[in-house]
Amino acid sequence: MILTIKKAIKQRISNSVDHWLSKRMPCQEQHQLTRNNVFILPSRFGLVFLMFIVLLFLLGTNYQNNLILLMSYLFISVFITTMLYSFFNLRGIKVAAKGEYLGFVEQTINIPVTLLSEQPRVNINLFFYPSDSCLQSQFAQQITVNVPVKFDKRGVYQLPRLTLESYFMFGLFRCWTHLAFDVQVYVGPKPLACSLNSIANQPANDSEVGNESNAIASDNFYELNNYRVGEPLSQVAWKQLAKTGHWYSKSYQSTNSEQVILSLSAMPSSQIEHKLAQLCFMILEYQKAAIDYGIEIDQRVTPPDHSHHHYLNCLKQVASYGG
Amino acid sequence: MQQQIEQVLQQINAIVIGKEQQVKLAIACLLAKGHLLIEDLPGMGKTTLAHVLSASLGLSYQRVQFTSDLLPSDVIGVSIFDQNSQSFTLHKGPLFNQVVLADEINRASPKTQSALLEAMEGHQISIDGQTIELPQPFFVIATQNPMFHAGTYPLPESQLDRFMMKISLGFPDVAAEKRILLSTGDLQGLDKLSASINIDQLIEIQKQVAKVHVAEPILEYIIALFQLTRNADSNVNPLSPRAGKSLIAAARAWAYIEHRDHVLPDDIKSVFCAVCEHRISGTGLAQQSSEPLSQQLLKQVDSASPL
Amino acid sequence: MAANLQFNILANSNRKNSSSFQLSPNIRLLLIISQVANILPLVKELAVWFIAIASLCVIFQLTIHLNLIKQPSRIGKSIVAILGCALLVVTGRELGLLLGMIHLLCLAYLLKPLEIRNQMDFYQLIILGLLLLACSFIFQQSLYFTLPVLLLVIANFCLLLRYATPQEKWQFQVNLTTKIVLQSLPLTVMLFVIFPKIAPFWQMPTAKSSETGLSDSVKVGDIAQLALSNQLAFRVEFDQQVPVYQQMYWRALTLSDFDGRQWTRRNIPFSQQTVIDQQALLALSQKASGISYQVIAEPSYQYWLFALDIGVIKDKKAGLNIAQLQDYSLLAQRKISQPVSYQVTSYTQQPLNLERLDIKQYTQINQLDNPQLAQYAQTLKANYPSDNVAIIQAVLDNFREQNYRYTLTPPVLTNNSLDEFFFETQAGFCEHYASSFTYLMRSAGIPARIVLGYLGGEYNQQGNYYSVYQRDAHAWTEVWLDGQGWLRIDPTSAVDPSRIERGFSEQLMLEQQQLTAEFNLNNVFNRAWLLQIQMRLDAIDFQWTKLVINFSQDSQQKLLSDWFGQYFNMTAILVIIGGVSFIVIAIVLLNIAAKRPQKRTIWLTLYLQAHHYLDKLGLGRNNDMSDQQFIRLLEKNNVELAVIYKAFIFNFNRLHYSSLESSAKKILIARMKEQLIKIKKMV
């Protein structure tokens, strides 16, 4: 009973904090750290240190010992100076992240975060809350850091707030900020292996599954397309590249004209989540084999292709299913 | 006065079907004493729009088809020795009309283009040392084909700046297209159009438009928008103060059409794309994003400032 | 420029969990070194057995560090801890409370590294080290002790920084820490000067350190050890007038009881001491002009303070309670355990006859102790009946004419016999002469007592003050002559006048210089040069003692009233501190206020309120939505609301974007308010 109340209160507090944060520091592509979005409070060590200063003050006063008093004053001054230093260590940093990212459940997804600064910075921890691991960095000028994030459930997520924290100087202060970025993360289900043969709705293709890798080579050249990043290099039309300087990719027409349509409903499992996981597996497999495939989810058909863009699109659909 | 504008709008919309927004922009451009550039594929109703506009406002109208061999004198006119009177008489070119439709302006040579544009800027024409005032109001509607068509001389950025707005009519929606297909298709109806406004009234309206109030927050909004284009890392052409003046003038006209005596941010938003898109994207060849740059700018500024 | 980047992936456990917390070997070694360094300032106070344990602990840790042995088990650790504690308990009584505590602290500090299981343990260790450094100031406070301790403080902070930034070079840490400490110094000084000094909250245990300097009993032969000590006893800074060297007899205490071997004074608690007649002192100060000076006494762990005769303490200080005793000596209520300063005015020309006392006790003596001296006294008395001055003169003449010698290494006397000294060995120092002289006087029926104190002092030109060292300790005699009061007789002057005229120390130095001059002239120069430096350093230390160590409530008050005017007091300081913090807070608040949108107009507030209500309905308006778009959105949800909102926004737009007369504005605002209420109701 008490536990649930505690939980509820915690939830309430974190909600209102979230609300306050989102008002104070709205979602942006790039944040510059200023005194409006950087928080600073004494760390646990800082509090202990303060208590120690009070103790010294009492000691000095009781012994009427000016040197001990001087020492306590020195420590309190250092404490204040350190506060400024740790704040200045974060202030002025520009943090940027953008784009869309794709990953799978329980898989670490690396989100590239760019840090920009004119001065060198030290001891900055970066992590997404709640997260298992964090990165510690010091840098000058500019770096891009891959900050890991993990999700336990399939879905489309707004990137959680990035925590930038530093205990720099003596560990007396925790200086931190929570930044929200306009970044979508598509988290697909963990691929669930299933037999390719069990997919019933494209019988013609079954025989081809085994030799997909040479499927391309044996197919006829069909046309030149603009090269899109992510397409296999083996398909680049090098001659054309040398001649014109433009990137084209050769596409082939499959001799077997049947197109693979992976249908969600055709997945062997009975549970929808498992079906999605299996579909995900299939997409991965086909993409690996560079065979054109389309998907069908609830009558919505995405026409076959095997470009990277198409691949991402398919996975996005799987990730956002039902959401 | 505003009722008359309303009537004009209705008249035009009855003929140019499904293009309320563009018609309104065109009228606003006219009221703001600017010139209009329409970029569109052939057969989208550019000519119709120009024609209807002039007719319903009771203005004289002339169309000039620009071709690559068109000479400046073909546009502005020429002095010819008249043997009867033993003197030079001026043969006024098509520019001496209140509404001039310069069709496919990007097909003419730059020389001809600049002759037209100079006339637009100065509202006067010099022929053989003679300076002749152009009629008031003077409104040029230029059309151009999208750039990728062959055999064109794209207007340079500096010339584009002379046009207050660039609009594109675009394809009509399904309902409108049905009506277009069913309509008689000739411009006969145009002749029957009676002007619901006379020239004096039009000039009076233009004066009133210039008096529409622009509040401090609006100016700040505009400056914020413009600053964004001038940032070092923005990938657009920076907007000049002249662009700003055009923007305010257009917004005033828009507000006037909306029956208001003050400009709202919405007015700015409504005209911003038309006024600024061609200025920031320049000749526009590098532009590939589906969303217009000006729209992106608006979004950026809006998300940054609460009002 | 290439980006200088470095990355470490930290397991979360490293940040928060304690299970796998491990200090890097580098830090471990530095920690051991810092432990040794932090304990060093206290090493003089620590018991010998403890130092042995401490060394063992350090060696133990070093071997662990070098991987020679494994981490001790939990039992092993407990055994060491318990052993240390047991030893402490056993020796606790001997050490006293304060030292016992400090030993305990040191023990904890030494054993803690075996138990570093998380980051906080490490931090605790650093704090313990800093506390030990602070504690060392209880025992020593000279500038030349303080500076190394300050360096150690910086070193400790360096270690903290090194822990935080292991990847940087050590120069980075040293530079940064030094920079920070230096930047903190102005604030420190300001706090020191401004922050009100508070009286002690409760009594603290004091150190049971060995007493230095004069003791309150004299056996013939005692002062000789002092005479060899070059330790500083006190310093004196004269305000204007400086007495002649021969007159610098610094009285500490008088001894009046003689038990045959040693002179003692009765041990009386502070509160029961007979205090001199204050009225008489007051009259004295009005009658004559005196020499005023400031004495800064080094800790002696005794009660005695020093002054020239007749020393009067004018302004009583808060922290230091000094009684002026009947024998003209000054007695502090508490042991002098740290440097104290006090202002004295001395009336050197005035007779010492202010007290009314039983003179008889000053003639009490056991004739049998030194029968020969008693015999001699009787002869003198017979020779000069009722002429005390003549008797005194005769004794002094005797000293002068006979073959008496002034030496610091006199032959040993059996049973401390004065007879033996006076008639046989005839060699000794001030104490011998003062003792035998006093004994003689008493035997002759003249009231007499021994005075212990210091004679002379070394002038420091750089600092314009006199330093009195333990080697300047001296003993002399006072005799009571009716009508004149106590008269100072220094029998030593009869034996060795130079000791009185130029001082003991200078005499020694002169001898040394004479010795060295024969060998090497250069050496003389060098010595003089060294002496110069020594003087300069001593002068700096004097200023340090005067200004910093002795900075008291009164000096703070005085300083601040000098700066800010006469009526300055502690309340004023509090007002200033309060005022400053108020201003700071006000600035911060103003800054925050300035960040807010300037002067929100009424209609803007109303507008925001309306949207606040609509937000609750889930009808948030995006910034890039136009009015029309938003109204359309509302229409989909609630037509009525949309109608009201349309009117509302129309009014708002007119107010916000058009120029209106104030009357028109009022009407519109009123309408907006009505509409807002309607919206609120609908929500």
Query: DSSP states of C371-390 as a string?
Result: HHHHHHHHHHHHHSTT-HHH
Q: How far is C120 from chain B (nearest CA, A)?
A: 43
- Per-residue pLDDT tens over the stretch C467-499: 888 878 888 999 888 878 888 888 888 887 777
Q: Is residue C551 part of a domain?
A: no
Residue A143 and residue C185: Cβ atoms within 8 Å? Answer: no
User: Is the model's pLDDT at A30 over the cut of 80?
Assistant: yes
Residue C659 and residue B215: Cβ atoms within 8 Å? Answer: yes
The answer to whether C491 and C434 are in contact (CB under 8 A) is yes
- Per-residue pLDDT tens over the stretch C644-656: 888 888 888 888 8
Lowest mean pLDDT among A141-155, A244-258, B46-60, B192-206: A244-258
Among partner residues B262, B266, B305, which is closest to C658 by beta-carbon distance? B262
- Number of structural domains chain B divides into: 2
- B-to-C residue pairs, Cβ atoms closer than 8 angstroms: 40
Mean pLDDT value across chain A: 78
User: Is the model's pLDDT at C17 over the cut of 80?
Assistant: no
Among partner residues A48, A66, A74, which is closest to C184 by beta-carbon distance? A74
Are C135 and C234 members of one domain? no
In what order do the strands lie in the sheet containing C330-332?
A: C304-305, C330-332, C322-324
Among partner residues B217, B262, B298, which is closest to C624 by beta-carbon distance? B298
Most confidently modeled range among C334-338, C417-421, C441-445, C679-683:
C441-445
Residue A138 and residue C9: Cβ atoms within 8 Å? Answer: no
Task: Report the candidate in C177, C573, C192 with the shortest Cα–Cα distance to residue A73.
Answer: C192
User: What is the predicted pLDDT for the residue at B234?
Assistant: 61
User: What is the predicted pLDDT for the residue at B286?
Assistant: 43
Q: Which domain holds residue C647?
A: 602-682
d(CA A32, CA C29): 40
Q: Is residue C553 part of a domain?
A: no
Q: Is C164 on the interface with A (CB under 8 A)?
A: yes
Among partner residues C137, C200, C552, which is closest to A67 by beta-carbon distance? C137
Q: How far is A129 from chain C (nearest CA, A)?
A: 12
Q: Is C548 on the interface with A (CB under 8 A)?
A: yes
Q: How far is A198 from chain C (nearest CA, A)?
A: 42
Of the pLDDT bands very low, low, confident and very high (cuts 50, 70, 90), residue B284 is very low
Name the one residue in this structure whose structure tokens are 């637009």: B120
User: What is the predicted pLDDT for the residue at B287?
Assistant: 45
User: Is the model's pLDDT at C97 over the cut of 90?
Assistant: no
- Per-residue pLDDT tens over the stretch B206-238: 888 888 888 888 888 888 888 877 775 566 777
Are B159 and B305 members of one domain? no
Most confidently modeled range among B264-268, C199-203, C236-240, C360-364:
C236-240
Residue C4 and residue A141: Cβ atoms within 8 Å? Answer: yes
Are B168 and B280 members of one domain? no
The answer to whether C39 and C132 are in contact (CB under 8 A) is yes
- Interface-testing mutation among C123, C190, C608, with chain A (most A C-beta atoms within 10 A): C123
d(CA A12, CA B217): 38
* 3 state DSSP class of B61: strand
Domain termination residue (choose one: C516, C536, C551): C516
Residue C623 and residue B213: Cβ atoms within 8 Å? Answer: no
**CA angle centred on B145, ends B141 and B148, rounded to 5°:** 150
Of the pLDDT bands very low, low, confident and very high (cuts 50, 70, 90), residue C150 is very high
- Per-residue pLDDT tens over the stretch A296-321: 887 778 887 777 788 888 888 888 87
Task: Report the candidate in B181, B164, A44, B176 with the shortest Cα–Cα distance to residue C127.
Answer: A44
Percentage with pLDDT > 70 across chain C: 87
Q: How far is B293 from chain C (nearest CA, A)?
A: 15
Residue of chain C whose alpha carbon sits nearest to that of B305? C623
Chains that touch C (3 or more CB pairs under 8 A): A, B
CATH number, domain of B278, equals: 1.10.8.80
Residue B264 and residue C657: Cβ atoms within 8 Å? Answer: yes
Q: Is C574 on the interface with A (CB under 8 A)?
A: no
Q: Identify all chain C residues contacting A65, using CB atoms and an 8 Å cutoff.
A: 137-138, 141, 338
Segment C104-129 mean pLDDT: 88
- Per-residue pLDDT tens over the stretch A92-141: 888 888 888 888 888 888 888 888 888 888 878 888 876 656 666 677 67
Among partner residues A55, A64, A169, which is closest to C161 by beta-carbon distance? A169
Segment C137-145 mean pLDDT: 87
Domain termination residue (choose one: B166, B191, B210): B210
Lowest mean pLDDT among A134-143, C391-400, C435-444: A134-143
Name the one residue in this structure whose structure tokens are 């100079």: B118
Among partner residues A44, A49, A59, which is closest to C127 by beta-carbon distance? A49
Of the pLDDT bands very low, low, confident and very high (cuts 50, 70, 90), residue C196 is confident
User: Is the model's pLDDT at C208 over the cut of 70?
Assistant: no
Segment C363-373 mean pLDDT: 82
Q: How far is B302 from chain C (nearest CA, A)?
A: 5
User: What is the predicted pLDDT for the residue at A204?
Assistant: 40
- Interface-testing mutation among B211, B260, B262, B271, with chain C (most C C-beta atoms within 10 A): B262
Of residues C316 and C665, more confidently modeled: C665
Residue C627 and residue B302: Cβ atoms within 8 Å? Answer: no
d(CA C497, CA C500): 5
Among partner residues A55, A77, A133, which is closest to C191 by beta-carbon distance? A77
Are B167 and B261 members of one domain? no
Residue of chain B whose alpha carbon sits nearest to that of C654? B262
Mean pLDDT value across chain B: 78
Task: Report the candidate in C509, C450, C501, C451 with the shortest Cα–Cα distance to residue C230.
Answer: C509
Q: Which domain holds residue B267?
A: 211-307
Of the pLDDT bands very low, low, confident and very high (cuts 50, 70, 90), residue A68 is very high
User: What is the predicted pLDDT for the residue at A249?
Assistant: 74
Residue of chain C whose alpha carbon sits nearest to that of B261? C658
Of the pLDDT bands very low, low, confident and very high (cuts 50, 70, 90), residue C569 is low
Residue B305 and residue C624: Cβ atoms within 8 Å? Answer: no
- Interface-testing mutation among A25, A36, A43, A71, with chain C (most C C-beta atoms within 10 A): A71
Are B206 and B248 members of one domain? no
Of residues B148 and C576, more confidently modeled: C576
- Interface-testing mutation among C603, C604, C623, C650, with chain B (most B C-beta atoms within 10 A): C623
User: Is the model's pLDDT at C18 over the cut of 70?
Assistant: no
- Per-residue pLDDT tens over the stretch C310-359: 888 876 665 678 888 888 888 888 888 888 888 888 888 888 877 766 77
Are C675 and C591 members of one domain? no
Segment A164-186 mean pLDDT: 86
Q: Is residue C413 part of a domain?
A: yes
Q: Is C466 on the interface with A (CB under 8 A)?
A: no
Domain termination residue (choose one: B210, B233, B250): B210
Taking the domains of chain A in order of start, what are their residue ranges? 26-188, 196-219+254-319
User: Is the model's pLDDT at C6 over the cut of 50?
Assistant: no
User: What is the predicted pLDDT for the residue at C516?
Assistant: 43
Residue C9 and residue A141: Cβ atoms within 8 Å? Answer: no
- Sign of CA pseudo-dihedral C275, C280, C283, C284: negative
Are C127 and C269 members of one domain? no
Among partner residues C119, C180, C203, which is closest to A81 by beta-carbon distance? C180
Segment A76-88 mean pLDDT: 90
Mean pLDDT value across chain C: 80
Are B296 and B200 members of one domain? no
Residue A134 and residue C168: Cβ atoms within 8 Å? Answer: no
Among partner residues C623, C628, C656, which is closest to B215 by beta-carbon distance? C656
Domain termination residue (choose one: C144, C172, C194): C194
For residue C620, what is the DSSP state? -
Of residues C281 and A233, more confidently modeled: C281
Are B159 and B306 members of one domain? no
Percentage with pLDDT > 90 across chain B: 1
Q: Which residues does C293 contact at the CB level (< 8 Å), separation at least 6?
A: C236, C237, C238, C239, C343, C344, C346
Q: Is C658 on the interface with B (CB under 8 A)?
A: yes
- Maximum separation of any 2 CA atoms in chain C, in Å: 137
Q: How far is A130 from chain C (nearest CA, A)?
A: 11
Q: Is C382 on the interface with A (CB under 8 A)?
A: no
Among partner residues C5, C134, C180, which is closest to A78 by beta-carbon distance? C180
Segment A4-25 mean pLDDT: 82
Are B154 and B300 members of one domain? no
Segment C561-581 mean pLDDT: 74
Of the pLDDT bands very low, low, confident and very high (cuts 50, 70, 90), residue C440 is confident
Domain termination residue (choose one: B192, B210, B228): B210
- Per-residue pLDDT tens over the stretch C606-625: 888 888 888 777 777 776 67
Q: Is C628 on the interface with B (CB under 8 A)?
A: yes
- Per-residue pLDDT tens over the stretch C576-610: 788 888 888 888 877 766 655 556 677 888 888 88
Amino acid in position A57 = F
Lowest mean pLDDT among A56-60, A65-69, B54-58: B54-58
Of the pLDDT bands very low, low, confident and very high (cuts 50, 70, 90), residue C522 is very low
Residue A48 and residue C127: Cβ atoms within 8 Å? Answer: yes
Are C493 and C347 members of one domain? yes
User: Is the model's pLDDT at A211 over the cut of 50?
Assistant: no
Residue of chain A whose alpha carbon sits nearest to that of C187? A77
ipTM associated with this complex: 0.76
User: Is the model's pLDDT at C55 over the cut of 80?
Assistant: yes
Of the pLDDT bands very low, low, confident and very high (cuts 50, 70, 90), residue C265 is confident
User: Is the model's pLDDT at C172 over the cut of 80?
Assistant: yes
User: What is the H or E stretch that residue C458 is in?
Assistant: strand C458-460
Residue B303 and residue C624: Cβ atoms within 8 Å? Answer: yes
CATH number, domain of B112, equals: 3.40.50.300
Count of alpha carbons within 13 angstroms of residue B48, beta-carbon side = 21
- Number of structural domains chain C divides into: 4
User: What is the predicted pLDDT for the residue at A281?
Assistant: 84
- Per-residue pLDDT tens over the stretch A234-277: 777 777 777 777 777 776 654 444 567 777 777 777 788 888 88
- A-to-C residue pairs, Cβ atoms closer than 8 angstroms: 163
Q: Identify all chain C residues contacting A135, using CB atoms and an 8 Å cutoff.
A: 7-10
Amino acid in position C587 = I
Q: Which residues does A276 contact at the CB level (< 8 Å), separation at least 6?
A: A154, A188, A189, A264, A267, A318, A321
Q: Is residue B76 part of a domain?
A: no
Amino acid in position B99 = V
| Residue C107, number of CB atoms within 10 A of its CB | 21
The answer to whether C26 and A164 are in contact (CB under 8 A) is no
Domain termination residue (choose one: C176, C194, C212): C194
